[in-house]
Structure 1
Amino acid sequence: MRLAHFHALRPVCPACRLQGALAPLALACVEEERDEIVRSGVLGCEACGNRYPILDGLPVLVPDLPRFLSDNLFYLTMRRDLTPGVTALLAEATGPGAGIDAIRQHVSSYGWDHWADQDPAEAGGEQVEPGQVSRVLAQLLDGLPAPLPDGPIIDLGCGAGRTTADLAERTGRLVLGVDLSVPLARVAWDAVVGGHVAYERRRAGLHFERRSFSVRAEGKADVWIADALALPFADEGFALVTALNLLDCLRDPKAALAEFGRVLTPGGACALATPFDWSGAATPLANWLGGRGGRGAQGGEGARCDLALDALLSEGPSAAGALRRSRAPGEAEWRIRLHDRSSMQYLTHLSWSAKGQPGLAA
């Protein structure tokens, strides 16, 4: 966590904010600091007494910290200095689908797409080209109104961090990447703050190839662990909210849109990309935006997820907070690499909205 970014963003206690109070967080303890970057320490709330750790440079700012730590203890305490041979042995011993195998696959797909185009040892010849996330972000940014109001940018569900880095480079603003995945947030922090990318690329089966290389880190970006449904910030602090392939991974998409609008400054913009790839493990069926059987509220088409999202971003009883659609939506292809012989292809829905700006006619 860069000290300058902590002072500029002025985070509040996430537990207090959910209770309607804006209690600022303070640095209660700094155990490791280098070049104005806190790598280990504790943030504290004087109002409620809650304390939040800074682990490997990542502040963990979630409302229910004990539950988060319990659910993520494996990833939080997982060693990062294991050699490739030992890692492979542990993966084989625990077997396919175990925790270490699942997270290696997850980080492989995201790490490759986000950063492989900057890997000098990348030989090419893959089924899909890396950098898809950058191309989708560029399409979203090209559709934004200009100029944006003053203020920082928050990149929700930043994954391995490429969108956070691209936003900082393109806008020159302070950009905060936010994610709940500890392994992905670590890759992102190492890249955008430390200037180094390290991940394991899956080749086939349980065979992974370790990749490690330097990237440019200009000091305008940071990565924190936080919940997109309970952001640890006061109202109206950000000029732009971006969220790529996040909305269909949240337990309550409608509440998330309201939260995105809450932290936007008046006139601020929100740019979303989502494939509507619903999963009951992430989002309860009752909260899916379309995609269910039977007849939906929009023209009797229950599968029209885009229409359901549009209703949340329009005036009326279904509106989700202050966001209003600012231009017609779009679509973009997005292919995800799984291993040398496999990939998945999505058609992701692009949506632009602004705080309080009336939507366009459909």
Structure 2
Amino acid sequence: MPAAWPSSLPLICPRCRGRIDGVAASARLEPHPIGFVCPACGTGHPVIDGVALVLPDLSSWMREEHPAVLCRADLPPDLLARIVDDAGGVLARDRALLSAYGDGGDDAVRAWARPRLPGPGAAILDLGCGVGWTDRPDIVGLDLNFALLRRHAGPAVLADALDPPFAAESFDAVLMLDLVDSCRLPLGALAQATALLRPGGTLLLTCAFAWRDDITPRADRLGEDDLDRVLAGGGPDSWLRYAVIDEDEFDWTLQSGPRQRCVYRVRAISARRLGPVDVDFRGELTQAFH
């Protein structure tokens, strides 16, 4: 089960972020018996099995995903397999994901990322974390899959990487490990990660450029040269700018089935965020990606 949510890291209501009379506005969530509540709009955001559910339309998500929430995490494996086989749908999908990512995936990504992480006391966010790429209990994990988040060691929030419920410049480091080619708007995810980083903060990014038509529209994909240009400040938003610290390439092995493995050639980039970001753009940024 994820660690308790740290009081030093406030969550922002995703329904209240925007502009009022041209000024950026947001509302911090407050503790509540169910988990959190927004004092401005009254929306409740429950915490279930240690995972904070912070979405602008939680009801729609729950209608689709409630089997994963209601399926107990302490069931014996054989019984859980029987339930999943009979139920199919969301539970079958999650079983396949846990089979592939349940142990955190291949050691190659973790071995690359671990020595590049800031030490204890730093605020670190893992965007699209799944079960988590490290076992550090101080790393905040964000993902849209409840079954994977249940296994995250650190504080966990179920939210969209294109609409993360945090204030600008909240983190010293942001991880985007195999997220860029696994989301519908890669440039949007990069923009949000940049907004969440403090000046001089570290971005750790890996990408296999293994795009899927059912996830990322072709027009929104980034090639390797595109990614380099965006990180150098040559994208549509010049404030999205980094100094690359080091780069690497290595094979990443994914157990995609009981008798099947897929090997991807992954590009890894460690970079430092340059320059300040005008925090007023966060509301517009979020609205643009919906």
In the other structure, the counterpart of 1:110 is 101
List per-residue Cα deviations over 1:263-302 (Å, max 9, x = no partner): 111111111001111112221222111xxxxxxxxxxxxx
Segments of 5+ residues of structure 2 without an aligned counterpart are: 276-290
Q: Identity of paired residues, percent?
A: 30
In the other structure, the counterpart of 1:259 is 192
Structure 1 position 46, deviation (Å)? 0.9
Q: Measured at CA, do residues 286 and 18 of structure 1 come closer, stay the same or move farther in structure 2, by a change above 3 Å?
A: farther
2-side partners of 1:58 and 1:316: how far apart? 37
Amino acid at match of 2:39: E
Q: Confirm whether residue 344 of structure 1 aligns to residue 262 of structure 2.
A: yes
Of the three residues 51, 55, 76, the one matched with 1:58 is 51
1-side partners of 2:274 and 2:218: how far apart? 29
The structure having more radius of gyration, on CA atoms, is: 1
Q: Measured at CA, do residues 99 and 263 of structure 1 come closer, stay the same or move farther in structure 2, by a change above 3 Å?
A: closer
Segments of 5+ residues of structure 1 without an aligned counterpart are: 30-40, 115-129, 169-173, 193-220, 290-304, 358-362
The question of whether the paired residues in 2 share the 8 Å contact of 1:258 and 1:323 is answered with: no
Structure 1 position 91, deviation (Å)? 4.2
1-side partners of 2:189 and 2:18: how far apart? 14
Structure 1 position 225, deviation (Å)? 1.5
Task: Please show how residues 3-152 of structure 1 align to structure 2 within 5 Å.
Answer: 5-18=5-18, 20-29=24-33, 41-93=34-86, 98-114=89-105, 131-138=107-114, 141-142=115-116, 151-152=122-123
2-side partners of 1:27 and 1:131: how far apart? 37
Q: Confirm whether residue 235 of structure 1 aligns to residue 182 of structure 2.
A: no
Q: Confirm whether residue 184 of structure 1 aligns to residue 102 of structure 2.
A: no
Q: Measured at CA, do residues 258 and 90 of structure 1 come closer, stay the same or move farther in structure 2, by a change above 3 Å?
A: same
CA RMSD of aligned residues (A): 2.6
Q: Measured at CA, do residues 250 and 339 of structure 1 come closer, stay the same or move farther in structure 2, by a change above 3 Å?
A: closer
1-side partners of 2:84 and 2:30: how far apart? 40
Aligned-partner SS, 1:132? helix
1-side partners of 2:163 and 2:259: how far apart? 39
List per-residue Cα deviations over 1:12-69 (Å, max 9, x = no partner): 112212554221110121xxxxxxxxxxx23111112211111111111122222222
* Count of aligned residue pairs for this structure pair: 270
The question of whether the paired residues in 1 share the 8 Å contact of 2:177 and 2:206 is answered with: yes
In the other structure, the counterpart of 1:313 is 231
TM-score for the superposition, normalised by structure 1: 0.67
Moved more, 99-108 or 255-264: 99-108
Task: Please show how residues 292-311 of structure 1 align to structure 2 within 5 Å.
Answer: 305-311=223-229
1-side partners of 2:87 and 2:10: how far apart? 43
Q: Confirm whether residue 246 of structure 1 aligns to residue 210 of structure 2.
A: no
